[in-house]
Amino acid sequence: MFNFLGVHLTLLIGPTVAIPAPPLLTEALHSVEVTHSDEGRSGFQLVFQAGRDAMTGLIDYPLLSLPLLRPFNRVVLIVTFNGIPSVLMDGVITHQQLNPSREPGTGQLTVTGEDVSVMMDLEEKSAEHPAQDETIIALKLIASYAQYGLIPMVIPPTVIDPPIPIERTPVQQGTDLEYLQQMAARHGYVFFVIPGPAPLTNIAYWGPPKRLDIPQPALSVNLGPATNVESINFQYSALEPTLVSGEVQDRLTGQSLPVRTFASMRLPLSSQPAWLTQQPNVRTRAFRESGLNAAQAFGRAQSVTDASVDRVLTATGELNALRYGGLLRARGVVGVRGAGYSYSGFYYIKRVTHKLSRGEYKQQFTLVRDGLGALTPVVPP
């Protein structure tokens, strides 16, 4: 198993309960890649050296003869960094790829999988949820997957419209994961599964992007010995901010009411949010949904504006985990310093890819925020 300069990787694997991998697997492990994102499922890829000779592989490759690498087996990856363990991935195997080689001992077996939320995406359903609002439905769906250690963290939306059975009944058409994501999108929310805090447990988060977390250690650019970012690129898109304007016929009163958004309701991460500084040159989308009451219509319109500001300023780059001194975790907040006033400051971490091999640990990241300019004069390290 990988063990270098204070970094130790532990692999747990098994059909129902993951247990420490045997030496045959750990010694053959060549590289690990794990991707976390606040949209869709997180994934992992394990690459093994797949040697075969007349003594050990007369019938099949020794790795393939093990039942541990079969599809839908549980995989848990734990990274211990400077003595502190963190669950990097908890998922199931979904794909296998064998690349034989002409040279003995140089073939590779690649095992790919996704986080445990993939198990919520296997069965399409037609189900009714009478007299239950979206918060209750989310809690109920998550609770039905307790065997995967899911701990629900559900944040009620600002606009709640409990369905009255004589008026309407929420109907699910699709998998549980699809329905959770559809309900989240109506409010500008996200749904994802966070591995940990302990092995074989996961937090199922349904709520707004997490912008109130304690900022992670800063990414430092062009700061001499304090620099921990190997590369970073910033892109500003002026066409992303979107306001909504239109009207809706309230299904309760029958009256036509104006529907309009004026600003993002999310916690700002910049001093010059694009929806404000680019007036009047801000894209406006017509509101065309029907069959809603006024509260639902305003909630749907606001979710469009809130989601649009996340795509204004994007930073992508790569850091060396050893110089950074820890794990950069997606779905949180991190500071960037040394990039000038316009691009320094705090960002939301949208995506992180961890790449581990023997003697090396790199992390590729995607950061987003709503505009230019740091909120604070100094970004703490």
Where exactly are the structural domains of the chain? Answer: 3-119, 123-207, 220-235+312-372, 242-309
Return the axis-axis angle of helices 176-185 and 134-143, rounded to nearest 10°.
150
Residue 30: both structure tokens together: 């060549």
Q: What is the DSSP letter of 191?
A: E
Q: Bridge partners of 4?
A: 7
Helix (H, G, I), strand (E, B) or coil at 63: helix
Residue 94 to residue 73: CA distance in whole angstroms: 9
What's the sign of the alpha-carbon dihedral 295, 291, 184, 235? Answer: negative
At the topology level, CATH places domain 220-235+312-372 in Phage tail proteins - horseshoe like beta roll fold (2.30.300)
pLDDT on residue 252: 81
User: What's the average pLDDT block by block, 10 residues per block, for the chain (381 residues)?
Assistant: 77 93 92 93 94 63 86 96 92 94 78 98 96 96 96 92 87 97 92 95 94 93 94 97 94 90 93 94 94 88 92 96 92 96 97 93 97 94 89
- CA separation, residue 3 to residues 35, 79, 117, 205, 320 (Å): 21, 10, 29, 32, 16
Q: What superfamily in CATH does domain 3-119 come from?
A: Trypsin-like serine proteases (2.40.10.10)
pLDDT number for residue 17: 87
Q: By C-alpha distance, which of 2, 11, 3, 7 is closest to 320?
A: 7
Per DSSP, 98 falls in state: E
pTM of the entire structure?
0.91
CATH of 123-207, one of 3.55.50, 3.90.660, 3.90.1690, 3.30.160: 3.55.50
Region at 215 (left for phi over 0; alpha for psi -120 to 50; beta for the rest): beta
HSE of 284 in the Cβ direction (CA atoms, 13 Å)?
Answer: 10
CB 282 within 8 A of CB 273: no
Instruction: Give the C-alpha separation, 242 to 259, whole Å.
Output: 14
